[in-house]
């Protein structure tokens, strides 16, 4: 008998949590799991990928209007119609509305995943989560740091929160796209190509990175920087690039279909985030053997040991970030050493898609067996 799992998420757009949901929906064996996805907002660009794998995708298409009784009632009807063994919710809105709908629909098991360190949740939201935690069969965190933060925020024992680390698997890069991008990011023989992959939001620290590379230019470092991703801060970031006179050095790529293309085209990956859970982009860069520089936030130090398999800098410190980039820009040998160690960390440290899916399957089977 298969375990029926309904994932509830805001949408299947471009983002780490969205990719993890898609990974689970496509990767868990059909013989044991019957899965579907419910989006609170629009379906998103990855919905077609899920459906191509035979995974149904439902959509409320009324976010943020789920406070409206009709919209919320539709969510309850979708849950009830699918008759899941497990409702698994992801990200803030789904963790609230999805769990409420699951309980009203009579779903036997509810799982909730916390993907980030959310320090700015409204008090009323935290109060609701504290109540919902009592009615949630399993609360999952993507890193030990996220677990500790969530336990303090919800005033629950950290041992009641299970850590399931994110895992990655990359598609093969396209030689043509990699070649085009390397040409666009043209540097001299002593230059370095940099990239970050992140949504264009304040918490990702793009402003810090721009100030850091401005320092690099003043210090005579030859570089080109690719910013892959899109989001609400795009216009403000464009304005910052112009104000810092970085238009000939920084390239906004927008949302990219295959992150592997960007990673294959550059020499160094930089993650300047101010807050994080366990970022997929960082794991992907390490999996490809790239040297990484990241801020010591969230679950990042659980993966990156500074000087061993990457470099860590304090969040918000553009001077420290510039120094770290300059250090690796000057030494291809050091980049190669750190990149090789980074790949080993992913392969042996349990951060692969295979390990992620095995952990998720184990959780689902344990919960279903316990309920039965």
Which structural domains are found in the chain, ordered by start? 3-167+352-371 (3.40.50.2000), 175-348 (3.40.50.2000)
Query: Residue 84, by phi and psi: left (phi above 0), alpha (psi -120 to 50) or beta?
Result: beta
Contact 307, 297 (CB under 8 A): no
Taking residue 186's Cβ as centre, other Cβ atoms within 10 Å add up to 9
User: Alpha carbon of 60 to those of 36, 44, 104, 162: distances in Å?
Assistant: 14, 12, 17, 29
pLDDT of residue 107: 96
Q: What is the DSSP letter of 120?
A: T
pLDDT of residue 63: 54
The H or E element containing residue 305 is none
Q: How far apart are CA 129 and CA 150, in angstroms?
A: 10
Q: How far apart are CA 200 and CA 204, in angstroms?
A: 7
pLDDT of residue 193: 98
Q: What is the C-alpha end-to-end distance of the chain, expressed in Å?
A: 12
φ, ψ of residue 231 to 5 degrees: the values are 160, -175
pLDDT tens across the length of the chain (372 residues): 689 999 999 999 888 899 999 999 999 999 999 999 999 988 988 999 999 999 999 998 765 566 677 888 999 999 999 999 999 999 999 999 999 999 999 999 999 999 999 888 899 999 999 999 999 999 999 999 999 999 999 999 999 999 999 999 888 899 999 999 999 999 998 899 999 999 999 999 999 999 999 999 999 999 999 999 999 999 999 999 999 999 999 999 999 988 999 999 999 999 999 999 999 999 999 999 999 999 999 999 999 999 999 999 999 999 999 999 999 999 999 999 999 999 999 999 889 999 999 999 999 999 999 876
Q: How far apart are CA 131 and CA 146, in angstroms?
A: 19
User: Alpha carbon of 322 to those of 75, 213, 223, 311, 314: distances in Å?
Assistant: 47, 6, 12, 12, 12
pLDDT of residue 81: 97
pLDDT of residue 42: 86
Q: What angle do CA 255, 336, 316 make, to 5 degrees?
A: 55
pLDDT of residue 120: 87
pLDDT of residue 4: 97
């Amino acid at each position: 008998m298969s375990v029926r799992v309904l994932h509830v998420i805001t949408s299947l757009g471009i983002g780490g949590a969205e990719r993890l949901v898609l990974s689970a929906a496509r990767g868990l064996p059909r013989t044991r799991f019957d899965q579907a996805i419910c989006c609170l907002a629009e379906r998103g660009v990855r919905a077609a990928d899920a459906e191509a794998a035979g995974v149904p995708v439902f959509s409320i298409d009324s976010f943020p209007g789920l406070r409206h009784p009709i919209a919320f009632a539709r969510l309850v009807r979708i849950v009830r119609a699918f008759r899941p063994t497990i409702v698994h919710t992801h990200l803030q809105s789904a963790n609230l509305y999805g769990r409420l709908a699951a309980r009203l629909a009579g779903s036997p098991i509810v799982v909730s995943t916390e993907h980030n360190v959310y320090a700015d949740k409204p008090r009323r939201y935290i109060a609701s989560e504290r109540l919902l935690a009592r009615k949630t069969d399993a609360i999952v965190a993507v890193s030990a740091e996220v677990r500790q933060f969530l336990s303090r925020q919800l005033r629950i024992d950290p041992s009641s929160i299970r850590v399931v680390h994110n895992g990655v698997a990359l598609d093969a890069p396209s030689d043509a796209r990699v070649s085009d991008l390397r040409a666009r990011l043209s540097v001299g023989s002593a230059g370095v190509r940099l990239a970050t992959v992140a949504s264009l939001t304040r918490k990702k620290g793009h402003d810090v990175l721009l100030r850091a590379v401005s320092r690099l230019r003043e210090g005579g470092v030859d570089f080109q920087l690719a910013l892959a991703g899109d989001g609400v801060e795009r216009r403000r970031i464009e304005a910052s690039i112009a104000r810092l006179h970085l238009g000939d050095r920084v390239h906004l790529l927008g949302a990219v279909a295959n992150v592997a293309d960007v990673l294959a085209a550059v020499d160094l990956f930089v993650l300047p985030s101010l807050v994080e859970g366990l970022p997929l982009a960082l794991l992907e860069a390490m999996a490809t053997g790239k040297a990484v520089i990241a801020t010591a936030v969230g679950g990042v130090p659980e993966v990156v040991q500074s000087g061993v398999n990457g470099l860590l800098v304090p969040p918000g410190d553009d001077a420290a970030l510039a120094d770290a980039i300059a250090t690796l820009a000057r030494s291809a040998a050091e980049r190669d050493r750190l990149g090789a160690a980074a790949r080993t960390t992913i392969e042996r440290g349990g951060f692969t898609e295979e390990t992620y899916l095995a952990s998720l399957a184990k959780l689902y089977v344990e919960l279903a067996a316990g309920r039965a």
